[in-house]
Amino acid sequence: MMTKPTFGTHPFLLGFDELERLVERTARSSDGYPPYNIEQTGEAGFRITLAVAGFSMEDLSITLEDAQLVVRGRARDEGERIWLHRGIAARQFQRAFVLADGVEVTGATMKNGLLHIDLQRSIPENVVKSIRIETAQD
């Protein structure tokens, strides 16, 4: 039985094996919390919106780690409350997004329990470079 080549081992995609490992690690770390949206805000703009009800700005951190945008939330200890019903989740979380080369974070805002992270992709210039072919010497 022939196996299908994976993204990192495809013969036309050289040097992308690290990207494949990054995507796999990101997919494994996701448990669905907190919920999020990704929208296109322009030709080269994006916005990630995470529902972070119950978190203050001090409870949240956004970092760039290699090619990943990582959002972490750490809920504060609320003391000795006695809950009769607790339907609003406020557990700690880590959500990671893999960013392509040229995608930069342009800002982050929080409003009405939603954390908005704005991204902008720079349009790369087309580069054409000729490679000289030399005669091999044995």
pLDDT in tens, 94-106: 999 989 888 999 9
Give the least confident one: 29-33, 49-53, 99-103, 124-128.
Answer: 29-33
Structure tokens given for 26: 């990101």
Cα separation, 29 vs 95, whole angstroms: 8
Q: Is the pLDDT of residue 1 over 70?
A: no
Structure tokens given for 78: 């609320």
pLDDT at 28: 63
- Interacting residues of 115 by C-beta distance below 8 A, sequence separation 6+: 49, 50, 52, 55, 60, 71, 108, 109
pLDDT at 90: 72
Q: With a threshold of 0.75, does the pTM exceed it?
A: no
pLDDT at 64: 95
Q: Is the pLDDT of residue 86 over 60?
A: yes
pLDDT at 5: 61
93-98, strands of its sheet edge to edge:
60-65, 68-73, 93-98
Q: Locate the domains of the chain by residue range.
A: 32-79+86-121
The reply to whether CATH 2.60.40.790 applies to domain 32-79+86-121 is yes
Give the least confident one: 14-18, 24-28, 75-79, 115-119.
Answer: 24-28
Whether the upstream peptide bond of residue 34 has omega within 30° of 0, thus cis, is yes
